[in-house]
Amino acid sequence: MALIPPSYCFVAFPPCTKEGLVIFGKNSARPRDEVQEVVYFAAATHDPGCKVECTYIEIDQVPKTHAVALSRPSWLWGAEMGANEHGVCMANRATVTKEVASETEALLGMDLVRLGLERGATAKEALDVIVSLLEEYGQGGNYFEDGNSCHAFQSAYLIVDRKEAWVLETIGKYWAAEKITEGTKCICSQLSLTTKIDAEHPELRSYAENQGWWTADTEFNFAQVFSQTDNHSDCCLGKESLEKQEGDITVQTMIDILRDKARGVCVDSESFLTTGSMVSALPQNPSSPCIHYFTGTPDPSRSIFKPFIFVDDVKLVPKVQSPVFGSDDPVKKIPRFQEKLDRRHELYRAHEWIQSVMARDQEKGQKLRRTMLDLEKQGLEAMENIFTSSEVLDPSEVEDLFYDCVDTEIKFLK
């Protein structure tokens, strides 16, 4: 059985949060040496009948796709987490269930994150996109860049917009979902849905019954029915921290939780590392912009969160994008992953170098760390002013926002 990476996702709604914000957070735990990049794709129109090439398979394209900002393992097409221009955020997490995940190449859960964001203008629309594509194309294939073994998982999602969130958990093509509009929610790599199910595949229960996992004369508890073991309790290590601060939850609160190594939310183990992190602040006031914060580097306890706002002329940021190898990429060749390429981007390399410096000189490292956190704090305060200002945001003022933050970070690290 494939070892599952322990990723954590969070969402908090007003009045648990301050300033009327819906706040979303995700730590992406992946193989330690995997590089995660942050990429932007503008909204686009597509010709009738054209196709889109995902990580392993090609599927039908839609007439129009929304602008998206994604944090993704640099070898694949999809994303671990991201957002679109309409204020929809989404994160994927791998799960292990009684239903063995398919190794046959189809759509990856991470492909479905990108497809949902590109095609859904609300959280519910994104959910509908995902379950429709699951029905048509299925899910399967290697989740890791590994030519020696196939690591296949079922997928689950936290999908959030300004008004609501959906927890979507899948078993092959079958699925169930819960709608959330208040309080806080924390999900991890175990199934979390129980008896509150607000939408489901029409054949979900009959499938469970045919497999001998459930009988119709008992209550249908999704986690109990489909979990591989009886250990399907709430596993979210950051839940207590989030609940303790209900009423005062801010972007900084979410960042602090994602940095929590003591409780294990920030993963740093022999096999896995938090290779990228994301926090989003979604104002319930539709006239205010959503602000998304990406690290683009491993370990949020050693990284800084940099703000991104969707506007028409966003400046691309090559310094946080990995090299492109085209048809020479081992992911494109059969058999796949027969060699490993150097996918490190400039910001990743700068972080690697500074970590080696900090290991040799702890005093210098602590000083630099304080400088970087001050830089992050300035950015958070500037973004908070956008939420509290009565003035309409001038898009030209934030076109270079993420670019400038990455550029400044690299200069401090050199």
Q: What is the largest CA-CA distance in the chain?
A: 65
For residue 189, the one-letter residue type is S
In 3D, which of 23, 71, 10, 8 has the Cα closest to residue 294? 71
Distance CA 94, CA 58 (A): 22
By 3-state DSSP, what share of the chain in percent is helix, strand and coil, each rounded to 5?
30, 25, 45
H/E stretch holding 71 reads: strand 68-73
Given 9, 16, 188, 236, the catalytic residue: 9
H/E stretch holding 127 reads: helix 123-137
Distance CA 231, CA 332 (A): 38
Sheet holding 291-294, edge to edge: 184-187, 8-12, 21-31, 272-283, 291-294, 306-308
Q: Token digits for 143?
A: 């989740």
* 348 backbone dihedrals φ, ψ, rounded to 5°: -60, -45
Nearest-Å Rg of the Cα atoms of the chain is 21
Distance CA 171, CA 112 (A): 14
Distance CA 201, CA 175 (A): 5
* Secondary structure class of 36 (helix, strand, coil): strand
> Is 9 noted as a catalytic residue in this protein?
yes
Q: Token digits for 251?
A: 């972007």
Q: Which residues on adjacent β-strands are paired with residue 156?
A: 93, 169
With vertex at residue 244, the alpha carbon angle to CA 237 and CA 87, rounded to the nearest 5 degrees, is 75
For residue 27, the one-letter residue type is N
Q: Which residues on adjacent β-strands are paired with residue 176?
A: 169, 200
Q: Which residues on adjacent β-strands are paired with residue 41?
A: 68
Question: Which residues, other chains included, contact 78 with Cβ-Cβ below 8 Å and sequence gap of 6+?
Answer: 54, 55, 70, 72, 92, 108, 109, 110, 111, 112, 113, 114, 115
Distances in whole angstroms, Cα of residue 349 to Cα of each of 140, 364, 374? 32, 19, 22
Active site residues: 9
